Amino acid sequence: MSTSETLFDKLAAKLVTQGTLKVTHAGGEARTFGTPTLGFPDVAVRFTDDKVARDILLDPRLGLGESYMDGRIEILEGDIMQLVSLVRSNNVWEKRGKMAPPSLPRQIKGKIKYAMRAVNKPGSSKKNVAHHYDIGNDLYQLMLDAEHMQYSCAYFPRDDMTLAEAQEAKLAHIAAKLNLEPGLKVLDIGCGWGGMAIFLASRADVEVMGITLSEEQLALARQRAEAAGVADKVKFELIDYRDLAASGATFDRIVSVGMFEHVGVPQFETYFRACANMLAEDGCFLMHTIGRMGQPGRTDAFTDKWIFPGGYIPALSETVAASEKVRLIATDVETLRLHYGKTIHHWYARCMENKAAIEEMFDESFFRLWTFYLAGAATSFEHGAMCNYQIQYVRDRTALPLTRDYIGKTEKGLLRG
C-alpha cells in the first residue's frame, strides 16, 4: 500500500466507529472500519486508482466529491447518501466531531479564491447565479414540488407531510410573518420560478414584483404566472437588487428566500441598506436563508467550485451585525433546524427515481455530481453546522402587532382546506 492509502486508513478508522465502511483500494487491499450499529448504515466502496486516497487526504470534501463524480469511487453497498451520512453521523457538529481539514497549501489556495469570489459585484453575481440556475428548468421540474417549484427549505409542522404540503406550509408561514393586507406592493428578491410571488398574489391579494438574475427562471416564472391567472398582479424582472434600489423603487413588504446565501460577505451591508431603502416606513421585510450555527466560517471547496461559485452560508451573528448598521429592527428570528434535511431527502429520492432521465439530459458524471451535492447538503443539516434562519425586520418598531399570535392565525387562513 502507498503512504497515502495507509494514512487514509488511519483517518477512516478515526472517522467511522458506528456503522461500517469497507474500503477496497485499487491494489485489492480491503479493510473494514467501524462496527455494525443500529441506526447507522453499512457501506462498501472500491477505489479504482491509487490516487483517490491522496486526493481525499488533501481536501476531504473536494477529493471525495470529485473522485465520486469521475467514477474513481465505486459504491458496492449502499449509495452516496448513505456514504456521506455514515461519516457525518459519526462526527456530529454538536459533539465537535469534524472531518480532517484540507492540507495547508489547499487552505491557502482556498482562502485566496474565496476572497476573490466573495466580492460578488453585480456582473459576477449574474454569472454565479447562471452557473447553478441556468442549467435548464427540466432538471428542477423533475426534482422539486410541481405546484410551487420551491428550491428552498420546506416547513414540516407534521412529520408525515408530502414535499408539496411542506412547501405550501413554508409559503404560508412566511406570508403570515409579512402581515399582508390586500393591495399592498410586495418585492420578492430572488424570486426563483415565481412560486412565492404567485402564492402571495393568489392567496393574499397583493401586487408582487419578483426579481431574479436567472434568464431560465425568469422565462418560466412568467409562464407560470400566466397559467395561474395572476399575471395582472405579478410581474417578474431580470434585475439586480442593487440596481432596483438605485432606481428609487419602494415597497410595502419585501421577502427574500434562499437568496442571501449568494450575496457574499463584503456585500452584506450593501444588501441590507438596499432593502432598508426600498422598504416603506411602516413596512415589513422577511428574509429566509440557509445559516451557519456557531461562528462564521468558509464555503468548502467542492461547493464553491461545482455548485455555488461565490456563495457563502452566513452565521446569525454576522447577518444581524450587518443589518444593525442600517437600523433595521429584527422583530423575530426563527431557527429551522431539521426541516431542510427532510426537504433535501425528498429531492434526492426524486433524482434517484429519475436517474435515467437526468443522465440523458446531462451525463452520468453530472448525476454523480448532483447527488453528491444533495447528499452533502442533507447531512450537513442533519449532523453538520447548517440550519435555516427566518429573520423578520421592520424600520418602525410599531409596524407589527405586539405579540406573535397573528402569525399562526393568518397562516391557517392562507392554507387551502
**CATH code where residue 185 lies:** 3.40.50.150
Render pLDDT for 268-306 as a digit per residue (tens, 0 to 9).
Answer: 999 999 999 999 999 999 999 999 999 999 999 999 999
- pLDDT range class, residue 122, cuts 50, 70, 90: low
- pLDDT range class, residue 104, cuts 50, 70, 90: low
Query: What does the pLDDT read at residue 120?
Result: 55
Render pLDDT for 184-205 as a digit per residue (tens, 0 to 9).
Answer: 999 999 999 999 999 999 999 9
Whether 246 and 285 share a structural domain? yes
Q: What backbone torsions phi and psi does residue 193 show, to the nearest 5 degrees? A: -95, 20
Number of Cβ within 10 Å of residue 146's Cβ equals 10
Percent of the chain with pLDDT over 90: 88
Whether 312 and 400 share a structural domain? yes
Whether 145 and 97 share a structural domain? no
- pLDDT range class, residue 416, cuts 50, 70, 90: confident
DSSP state letters, 123-148:
HHHHHHHHHHHTT-HHHHHHHS-TTT
Whether 136 and 277 share a structural domain? yes
Q: Which amino acid is at 258?
A: G
- pLDDT range class, residue 130, cuts 50, 70, 90: low
Whether 248 and 354 share a structural domain? yes
Residue 262 pLDDT exceeds 60: yes
- pLDDT range class, residue 237, cuts 50, 70, 90: very high
Evaluate whether 329 touches 393 at the Cβ level (below 8 Å): yes
Q: Which residue has the higher pLDDT, 111 or 405?
A: 405
Query: What does the pLDDT read at residue 310?
Result: 86
Query: What does the pLDDT read at residue 253?
Result: 98
Render pLDDT for 305-320 as a digit per residue (tens, 0 to 9).
Answer: 999 898 999 999 999 9
Query: What does the pLDDT read at residue 126?
Result: 56
User: Judging by DSSP bridges, how do beta strands 30-35 and 19-24 pair with one another?
Assistant: antiparallel
Query: What does the pLDDT read at residue 244?
Result: 98
CA distance 360 to 386: 32
Which of the residue ranges 96-100, 104-108, 385-389 has the most confident prediction, judged by mean pLDDT? 385-389
Residue 391 lies in a domain: yes
Whether 376 and 326 share a structural domain? yes
- pLDDT range class, residue 108, cuts 50, 70, 90: low
| Domain of residue 9, CATH code | 3.30.1050
Q: Which residue has the higher pLDDT, 338 or 118?
A: 338
Query: What does the pLDDT read at residue 136?
Result: 79
Render pLDDT for 33-58 as a digit per residue (tens, 0 to 9).
Answer: 999 999 999 999 999 999 999 999 99
Sign of CA dihedral 272, 275, 281, 285: negative
Residue 106 lies in a domain: no
Residue 123 pLDDT exceeds 80: no
Residue 131 pLDDT exceeds 90: no
Domain range for 338 is 117-414
Residue 134 pLDDT exceeds 90: no
Residue 108 lies in a domain: no
> Number of folded domains in the chain?
2
Percent of the chain with pLDDT over 70: 90
Whether 57 and 142 share a structural domain? no
Q: Which long-range contacts (CB under 8 A, 24 or more apart) does 358-366 make?
A: 358/139, 358/142, 361/136, 361/138, 361/139, 362/139, 364/71, 365/69, 365/70, 365/71
Of residues 259, 293, 289, the one with CA closest to residue 189: 259
CA distance 412 to 415: 5
